[in-house]
Amino acid sequence: MKFFVDTADVTKIRALVETGFVDGVTTNPSLIASSGRPIQEVLKEICELVTGPVSAEVTATDLEGILKEGRYFAKLASNIVVKVPLTPNGLKACRQFSDEGTPVNVTLCFSAGQALLAAKAGATYISPFIGRLDDIGETGSDLIHQIMEIYSQYPHFKTQVLAASIRSALHVVEVARMGVHVATMPPKILHQLYQHPLTDKGLTDFLADWEKTGQSILPA
């Protein structure tokens, strides 16, 4: 499974890239707005830091506007993925971008039927938002299971399932068990994957016992 980091904070991306765990980046208008910087500047800098896909989301909702913004994004860097909403116009644009050879991330997916349409439109990625479903009393991971099951029935579908709206390390594990292709997560969630109290306790105990020996592993 690939790990994408969901942020427009270049400082955090740079630090996470150094871990070797970051395969790509996803952004959205809210994340770009929180950066307080021009979108073109942010996207170019991210694309220089990350060799993998970088999703850049359009803000237009009409077909012509989506196409113009998406084509503009695609010219910024070779690893840009145009991110479009799961709307009729978004899916029409997805088909045109796909036919032009531009990778597309179809976002704001909340049903298996929507995911089926995205695959038929030639989406490179479909982004089901599992955390937001959990927020309204549904089970977001059930949606991932449904989409993975449907896609597995049709080998000609090339769309990758990109689990989004990840709220916890448990979400990451759940979607990984289902064989999801990609999980995109805020930096804090990637850091949570390291953490377990027994790991911390075990390391503390080992180091305390070693200290008692008075030894040094490396020769003086």
Q: How far apart are CA 129 and CA 116, in angstroms?
A: 15
Active site residue 83: yes
DSSP calls for 172-211: HHHHHHTT-SEEEE-HHHHHHTT--HHHHHHHHHHHHHHH
Q: How far apart are CA 56 and CA 198, in angstroms?
A: 39
Catalytic residue among 44, 68, 75, 83: 83
Contact in structure between 161 and 182 (CB atoms under 8 Å): yes
Give the containing element (helix H, strand E) for 81.
strand 80-85
Q: Which residues are catalytic?
A: 83
